[in-house]
């Protein structure tokens, strides 16, 4: 069992938890994720690692209520525990393996939408700890839906909040904030965009026009998290990738977002999964390709 040491509500239907998981905390890096289960019969839920403390052996996760399992998670309190807490999964962010001195020469922009602030934070924190500053744009529908503001301000070079209703920070979408910064003369060597697929799609359309290389963290439906079920299959350029083992980060200018969004909708029904299996043939599964993950 993996004990919850802290549980707090960040916004409506969004919760933060510190979980005691020493082995995961010892090995994880920014960009990776975990898969958790409340109990033996619980659904396996993939969650981004929002923060970690190797000495304390804790992992910080952020949960948004979107279904029955995540709603049950939102009701958990300090002292409760998860049955399973598997990770770290996925590949670390690419810059983790780069020379920090070379990274200092780059101007980096992070764009987060909604709970996308959770996976952005550990990346910006990792950079900050090595003396590398990055600009951060975070968007939400309203001020009350912005999360981790204090934490983000502490590690970002410049922090730009955006609200759809215009009552706080920049009035409008994150894309208009990007346009405004570039229009003011800001130049970026790389952009990292994390959030809803539709947001990442439009950020990538803009950054492609602005000629800013862009990395996205893909969040399609995942089932096993080891590349065998085929749920998180993506088209990236002319290659088939699986977000759980090949990602979750990819070149955003190569990702087929329209296909990814359509596929996620289809995968929610048994009929849709059967049709995808028929259409995709041998490329439907990753891993062994024969796990029967969608039966």
End-to-end CA distance of the chain: 29
pTM, to two decimals: 0.89
- Residue of 58, 41, 42, 62 lying closest to 5 (CA atoms): 58
Number of Cβ within 10 Å of residue 269's Cβ equals 10
What confidence score (pLDDT) does residue 285 get?
A: 62
Phi, psi (rounded to 5 degrees) for 122? -65, -30
What confidence score (pLDDT) does residue 271 get?
A: 63
**What DSSP assignment string belongs to the chain?**
-EEEEEEEEEETTEEEEEEE-HHHHHH--TT-EEEEESSTTPPPEEEEEEEEETTTTEEEEEEE--SHHHHHHHT--BTBEESEEEEEESPPPGGGGS-HHHHTTS-EEEEEEGGGHHHHHHHHHHHHHTT--EEEEEEESSGGG--SHHHHHHH-SEEEEEETTSSSSEES-HHHHHHHHHHTT---SEEEEES-HHHHHHHHHHHHHHT--EEEE-----SSSSS-S-TTEEEETTEEEEHHHH-SEEETTTB-HHHHHHHHHHTTSHHHHHHHHHHHGGGS--TTS-S-TT-
Strands 214-217 and 134-140: unpaired
- Cα 78 to chain centroid distance, Å, stands at 24
Q: Report residue 293 as tokens.
A: 């993950």
Going edge to edge, which strands form the sheet with 2-11? 81-82, 2-11, 14-20, 58-64, 45-53, 33-37, 84-89
- Cα 111 to chain centroid distance, Å, stands at 11
What confidence score (pLDDT) does residue 278 get?
A: 64
What confidence score (pLDDT) does residue 106 get?
A: 95
CA distance 230 to 81: 29
What confidence score (pLDDT) does residue 273 get?
A: 58
In the chain, which residues fall in CATH 2.40.30.10? 2-89
What confidence score (pLDDT) does residue 282 get?
A: 65
Residue 189, CB-side half-sphere exposure with 13 Å CA sphere:
10
Residues whose CB falls within 8 Å of the CB of residue 132, separated by 6 or more in sequence, listed in order: 100, 103, 104, 108
* Residue pair 78/8 in contact by the 8 Å Cβ criterion: no
Q: Tell me the CATH architecture of domain 94-206.
A: 3-Layer(aba) Sandwich (3.40)
Number of Cβ within 10 Å of residue 65's Cβ equals 16
- The label of the residue with tokens 């052996």 reads 57
* Residue pair 21/88 in contact by the 8 Å Cβ criterion: no
What confidence score (pLDDT) does residue 290 get?
A: 38
Strands 45-53 and 33-37: antiparallel
CA distance 224 to 115: 22
Q: Report residue 111 as tokens.
A: 């764009």
In the chain, which residues fall in CATH 3.40.50.80? 94-206
Q: What CATH code would you report for 2-89?
A: 2.40.30.10
- Tell me which residues of the chain have a pLDDT lower than 50: 287-295
């Amino acid at each position: 069992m993996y004990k919850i040491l802290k549980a707090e509500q960040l916004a409506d239907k969004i919760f933060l938890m510190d979980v005691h998981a020493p082995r995961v905390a010892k090995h994880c890096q920014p960009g990776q994720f975990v898969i958790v289960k409340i109990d033996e019969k619980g659904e396996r839920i993939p969650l981004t690692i929002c923060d970690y403390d190797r000495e304390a052996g804790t992992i910080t996760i952020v949960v948004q209520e979107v279904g029955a399992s995540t709603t049950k998670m939102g009701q958990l309190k300090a002292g409760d525990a998860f049955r399973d807490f598997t990770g770290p999964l996925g590949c670390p962010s690419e810059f983790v393996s780069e020379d920090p001195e070379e990274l200092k020469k780059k101007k980096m922009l992070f764009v987060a939408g909604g709970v996308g602030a959770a996976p952005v934070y550990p990346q910006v924190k990792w950079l900050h700890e090595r003396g590398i500053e990055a600009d951060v744009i975070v968007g939400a529908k309203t001020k009350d839906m912005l999360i981790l503001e204090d934490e983000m301000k502490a590690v970002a070079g410049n922090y730009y909040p955006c609200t759809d209703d215009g009552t706080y920070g920049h009035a409008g979408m994150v894309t208009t904030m990007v346009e405004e910064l570039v229009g003011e003369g800001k130049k970026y060597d790389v952009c990292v965009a994390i959030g809803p697929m539709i947001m990442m799609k439009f950020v990538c359309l803009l950054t492609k026009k602005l000629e800013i290389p862009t990395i996205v963290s893909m969040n399609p439906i995942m089932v096993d998290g080891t590349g065998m079920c085929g749920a998180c299959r993506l088209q990236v350029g002319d290659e088939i990738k699986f977000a759980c083992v090949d990602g979750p980060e990819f070149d955003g200018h190569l990702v087929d977002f329209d296909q990814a969004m359509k596929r996620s909708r289809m995968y929610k029904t048994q009929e849709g999964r059967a049709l995808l299996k028929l259409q995709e043939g041998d490329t439907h599964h990753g891993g062994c390709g024969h796990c029967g993950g969608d039966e």
